[in-house]
Structure 1
Amino acid sequence: MSALLRLLDVGSGDSEDSWIGAASGPEGKRAFGGQFMGQSLAAAARTVEPAKRPVNMHLQFLRGGEAGDDVDYSVERVFDGRTASARRVVSRQAGRVITAATVSFSLPLPGPEHGHAAALPEDPETLPRTGPPGPAPSMPLDEIDIRVVDDRSAGEFVRRLWWRVLVPVPEDPLLHDVIAAYVCDVYMIDPALQVHGHSMVARTHRSGTTDSSIWFHRPVRADRWNLLETRSPAAARGRGVITGSLLGADGGIAATVVQEGLIAEREQ
């Protein structure tokens, strides 16, 4: 099994509805937030009938996690109905709460549809393979092709992050959603700083995600090109908000992502 798939394949814990997520490494580093997004979603889904697909997820980052330690996940079965289910997921390391999430699932239902992009802005195959916008020691980057384009041509800062998984991914639709939740977290709060000419890499500001949400609209194919296009509509009081659309290779909006994060000036 690849490093990415092994990381997102949570195992059974020591009690019912408890699960263990593998450490991402390296030791002594802060854990990547996407790990908690992906593993929390995977843990919640283990308690829901497979026919119900994830439709939305909201996760609060309460403490920084340790990349070198396993993560314990406890799932609360909040609701189970005929077409929908809801779960609450709390992650812990060394007994300390790290994140708290809610996840909703639903059977596919018929209804009106919209959300198709007119055209994708570029062909990702023509772009250089940049990797993430900064260091990402916890991510198996040899298994994920990431190509980033930062665009200010329209007068606002827009980040286009193209990505696809390079290792074989099973056909399980849930796994593709879990991978999307994992990858889309990478440096997503950075555009709130980039608007002002700063960046997370420069470390001029205290920065980090405090809240992350994702709504799934259409199936995601992690092994094909996906485009996460993000911008920051507002920032104040040392925090910024990022909104993003995850587009599939056909230009359809597969998911909507929103993050809030800390972007506070460091004390002199």
Structure 2
Amino acid sequence: MSAPAAESQSLTGVGPRQTCPSRGHASMPPERLPVEIWHLIIMCLDDHCFAWFVLRQTCPFLNLVTEQVFARYVSRTCTVRFAGQTLGNLLAHDLQGDTGDCRQVPASRQALVRQNASPASYWAALSRAQPPSFRFQPSSFVPATTKAKLLLKLCDAPNAHETLPASHPNAGTMDTTTTQVQVFFKSGAKADAERERLLQQAHFVLFHGQLKSMRLPSATFNVADRNLSLDWRRLCNIFMRDEFKCRYQSQYSVAWWRNFE
């Protein structure tokens, strides 16, 4: 008596019959899993380059959920800091005005307090002692449907959160963050030109634990709303591309490598 076909029984000879899946059998679409599960899966990946360059290209759904995860990374970890001579030119009139001998820089904030420094002379002396820098952090994405641009707000005063103590006679009238926003986004053709020059230069960008000096992609200043906007997808692309290059550049030397974008 002939033995039954191998595919008709399990390996042990008992149990339900095993059937081979048909070639036309469709796999479960990724949309069947909740979006929240996909978010967790992507966040658990060690290889962010794979998530950004591969998962986003798989299908529209995975493109959407992957970008949602990276948008969360951007909103929580991204910081843009402006500094340098161009910024000094922008602030020269306001922070470096006629406040006395520029060589006589107080050694500390306490020295300024003892001299009963006014807010104007305080910031002027501070800017001479330490070159000013301004830190922007994410506030929202616009428009809400496509999230094409990331809006960033000036989040604090220059340098190390310098403020006057409550005992100082000018302390009650000196809102450092408000003052710096007004100075940075002041109107006028000269200020507009200096801000435009800022956008053509490299600045420090911190994203997901990585710090780079780079030109901001598609960045613009909105003086009326007092914010900075940029293309956050291109920003992620730059960071992920550079991470990928750093990972393999020392191991492989191939022609396509130099053109990788």
Report the TM-score range of the alignment, normalised by the length of the smaller protein. Answer: under 0.3
Normalised TM-score (structure 1): 0.23
More strand by share: 1
More helix by share: 2
Normalised TM-score (structure 2): 0.24
